[in-house]
């Protein structure tokens, strides 16, 4: 059974979209989305520097566009994706790409929503100087109380020995100076705010208004939610989860547990892939993985799809 996943903020690097624009139709599609959301995705994906694409209002649309463009290259026009992909999920902002890939939202609706999401979260982040840092290694039973003592939120519980803490820059600085016992490293992330914490609460009301305007359908493929790792079968529930998720922790560990329960045998991460594949290699031993980094990875990904495709996973899975 094949799982398709989309990465979250921090995965972007300068120029990462450049090789994808050589594929037929990709630049045209990117320019259409750019015009629709008033953001030059071609410039930011090819020529912008690291600081420019660190901006939340830029990074989020750029990542969803990249995931959609790269994942769409894997399937022929009109191909029934639900018969090839057993489940899909996205990490944080990657959930919007997963919503489109499972048919709950159109690509255009996902791009419209992610633009509003990025702007709203950037505005919320500007209120207080905040950030995030990944803790590598360590026991949850030790790490979580330590974060609480420092006033930090475990914003991403990613599994495979990785938890991402979020809070003010002062709290993050205190964490780097006083890491939990057993934690190997504390790595600051390339993000501009404490996402998935109470600091993002102002963005929730903006998104609540935004989703009332979006057409939504029930997903045709099992959509695994960041909130609790559950399979969501209702388009309306999916939208409400997307709204609330900006101010609540990402439970990627539970998403991977669900992949395992659904019988995953292979996992492909859309561009800019790498982070989620790394987690899967540690948490899902025996599962074949592939990260889409450049178009050179497409043939290997298509081979993996042919070997591991299966009918849609049971959408009633608990």
SS3 category, 167: strand
Catalytic annotation, pick one of 91, 146, 196, 199: 196
196 is catalytic: yes
Catalytic residue (one of 92, 146, 225, 308) = 92
Q: Characterize the bridge pairing of strands 288-291 and 162-168.
A: unpaired
Q: Which of 205, 199, 57, 195 is nearest to 128 (CA)?
A: 199
Establish whether 205 is a catalytic residue: no
* Cα–Cα distance measured from residue 185 to residue 179, given in angstroms and rounded to the nearest whole number: 8
Q: Is residue 181 left, alpha or beta, with left meaning phi > 0 and alpha meaning psi from -120 to 50?
A: beta
- 311: number of Cβ within 10 Å: 11
User: 62 - beta bridge partners?
Assistant: none
DSSP conformational letter for 248: S
DSSP 250: B
How deeply is 12 buried, as exposed, middle or buried, from its count of CB atoms within 10 A (0-12, 13-18, 19+)? buried
Residue 163 bridge partners (DSSP)? 135, 157
In angstroms, rounded to a whole number, what is the distance separating the alpha carbons of residues 236 and 133? 32
Q: What positions carry a catalytic annotation? A: 92, 196
């Amino acid at each position: 059974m094949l799982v398709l996943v989309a990465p979250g903020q921090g995965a972007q690097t300068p120029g990462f979209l450049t090789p994808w624009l050589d594929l037929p139709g990709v630049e045209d599609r990117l320019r259409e989305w750019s015009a629709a959301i008033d953001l030059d995705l071609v410039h930011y994906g090819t020529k912008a520097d690291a600081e420019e694409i660190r901006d939340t209002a830029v990074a989020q649309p750029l990542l969803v566009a990249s995931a959609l463009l790269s994942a769409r290259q894997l399937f022929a026009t009109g191909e029934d994706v639900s018969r090839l992909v057993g489940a899909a999920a996205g990490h944080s902002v990657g959930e919007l790409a997963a919503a489109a890939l499972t048919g709950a939202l159109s690509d255009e609706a996902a791009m419209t929503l992610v633009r509003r999401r990025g702007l709203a979260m950037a505005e919320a982040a500007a209120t207080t100087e905040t950030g995030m840092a990944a803790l590598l290694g360590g026991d949850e039973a030790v790490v979580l109380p330590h974060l609480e003592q420092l006033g930090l939120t475990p914003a991403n519980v990613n599994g495979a020995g990785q938890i991402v803490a979020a809070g003010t820059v002062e709290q993050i600085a205190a964490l780097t100076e006083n890491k939990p016992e057993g934690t190997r490293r504390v790595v600051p992330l390339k993000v501009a705010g404490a996402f998935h914490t109470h600091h993002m609460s102002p963005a929730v009301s903006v998104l609540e208004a935004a989703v009332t305007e979006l057409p939504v359908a029930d997903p045709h493929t099992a959509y695994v939610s960041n909130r609790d790792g559950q399979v969501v079968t209702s388009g309306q529930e999916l939208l409400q989860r997307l709204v609330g998720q900006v101010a609540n922790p990402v439970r990627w560990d539970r998403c991977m547990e669900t992949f395992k329960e659904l019988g995953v045998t292979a996992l492909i991460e859309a561009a800019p892939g790498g982070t989620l594949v790394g987690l899967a290699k540690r948490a899902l031993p025996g599962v074949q993985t592939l990260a889409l980094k450049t178009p050179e990875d497409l043939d290997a990904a298509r081979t993996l799809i042919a070997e591991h495709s299966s009918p849609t996973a049971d959408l009633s899975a608990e």
